[in-house]
Amino acid sequence: MATWFPKNISTYGADIDAMFWLIFYIVGVGFIISEAVIIYAIFRHRKREGRRAAFLNGEKMSEFAWVLVPTAIVFVLDLGIDFAGSSVWSKVKGEAPPTDIHVIVTGKQFNWNFTYPGPDAKFGTDDDLTIENELHVPSNKPVRLVIKSEDVIHSFFVPTLRLKQDAVPGREIPAWFEATATGEYEIACAELCGYGHYTMRGFLFVHSSEDYAKWLAERWPSS
Ligand SMILES: [Cu+2]
C-alpha cells in the first residue's frame, strides 16, 4: 500500500508516512469494529412478529456505557497518537537545521513566487531575484523557507517532500526541508484560494551540487 504515496525525497518524509499509517490503522480498526457492531445490531434486533420495540433513554449505566467506553477509547488513542507524533512534530516544525540556503515563498492569486537573496545573502537588496513557480535547490542540503501570502490564505504543498504549510496574509511562517534525490517535482496550492486555484502549480528542481552552482552562476553572472 506504500505505493499509493507519491515518491518520498524528504529527510523527514518517512516519519510523516509512519504517522499516516499509525493513524490509518487505528481509524481502520475502529471503523471495522463499529460497522460490525452496527450490522450485528441490525440483524439481532430486526422486526419480528410479537416483539415490541424497546425504548431506551440511556439513563442506565449499562446503556450509557455504549457512549462512555468508546469515547474513553478514542481519547486514549488520541493521546497515543499525540505522543507518537510529538517527536515528528518537533523535527519538522521545531528548530530547522542550520543552512546558508534561504528562500522566501510568496503565495498570490495564482502563483508561487520564490525570492532568492542573491550573493550578498540578504533579502531586500538589489541582487534579490524573484522567480515565478520555480524553486531551485541543491540535493542533500537543508533549505529554509519563509512562507508568506500577498492576498488570501494559500497552502504551500510539495507532496514528494511531505511538506504542507499554510501561507497566511500578514504572517511570515518558517519551514524547512532537505531533498535527497535530484529531479523535478510538483508544487501545488492545497487551499481553495479563488477561481484560479487549480492553476497555482509550480515545480521544485532539485539539482546536484555542481548543477546548483551552475544555476547560481547563470542567475548572478557578475558574482
Ligand atoms: Cu492558492
pLDDT per residue over 110-134, tens digit each? 999 999 998 888 999 988 999 999 9
CA of 105 to the centre of ligand 1 (A): 12
C-alpha 185 to ligand 1 mean position (Å):
18
3-state secondary structure of 29: helix
What's the gap in Å between 202 CA and the centre of ligand 1?
A: 11
* pLDDT at 149 (0 to 100): 97
Q: Describe the crossing of helices 61-93 and 13-44 by its angle, rounded to 10 degrees.
A: 170
SS3 (DSSP) at 204: strand
143: its cell numbers? 533549505
Measured in angstroms, how far is the CA atom of residue 108 from the centroid of ligand 1? 7
Average pLDDT score over residue span 181-205: 96
Is the pLDDT at 27 greater than 60? The verdict is yes
Average pLDDT of the chain, as a whole number:
93
pLDDT band at 13, cuts 50/70/90?
very high
How far does the centroid of ligand 1 lie from the alpha carbon of residue 72, in Å? 39
CA of 93 to the centre of ligand 1 (A): 22
CA of 41 to the centre of ligand 1 (A): 46
Using the mean position of ligand 1's atoms as its centre, give its distance from the Cα of residue 19 in Å. 26
Report the distance separating Cα 172 and Cα 165, nearest Å. 11
pLDDT confidence bin for 211, thresholds 50/70/90: very high
For 56-69, what is each residue's pLDDT tens digit?
888 888 888 989 99
Residue 42 CA to ligand 1 center (angstroms) comes to 46
Cell match 439481532: residue?
Answer: 44
Return all residues near 92 (Cβ < 8 A) that are at least 6 apart.
Answer: 12, 15, 16
pLDDT grade for 215, boundaries at 50, 70 and 90: very high
Residue 222 has pLDDT above 60, yes or no: yes
Ligand 1 centre from 147 Cα, in Å? 12
- The pLDDT score that the predictor gives to residue 221 is 84
For position 58, what pLDDT does the model report?
Answer: 81
The better pLDDT of the pair 55, 9 is held by 9
Residue 104's DSSP bridge partners are 115, 146
Q: Where are the alpha helices (DSSP H) in the chain?
A: 13-44, 61-93, 209-219
pLDDT of residue 223 exceeding 80, the answer is no
**Distance from the alpha carbon of residue 208 to the mean position of ligand 1, in angstroms:** 29
pLDDT in tens, 133-153: 999 999 999 999 999 999 999
Q: How far is the CA of 95 from the centre of ligand 1 (A)?
A: 26
Nearest to 111 by CA among 213, 188, 20: 188
What is the average per-residue pLDDT within 10-15? 95
Residue 145 contacts residue 124 (beta carbons within 8 Å): no
Least confident interval from 52-56, 94-98, 139-143, 203-207:
52-56
Is the per-residue pLDDT at 1 higher than 80?
Answer: no
Q: Residue 170 burial by CB count (10 A; 0-12/13-18/19+): exposed, middle or buried?
A: exposed
CB 175 within 8 A of CB 165: yes
Q: How far is CA 62 from the centre of its chain?
A: 42
CA distances from 161 to 111, 164, 185, 187 (A): 19, 9, 9, 10
Asked whether residue 3 carries a pLDDT value surpassing 90, the answer given is no
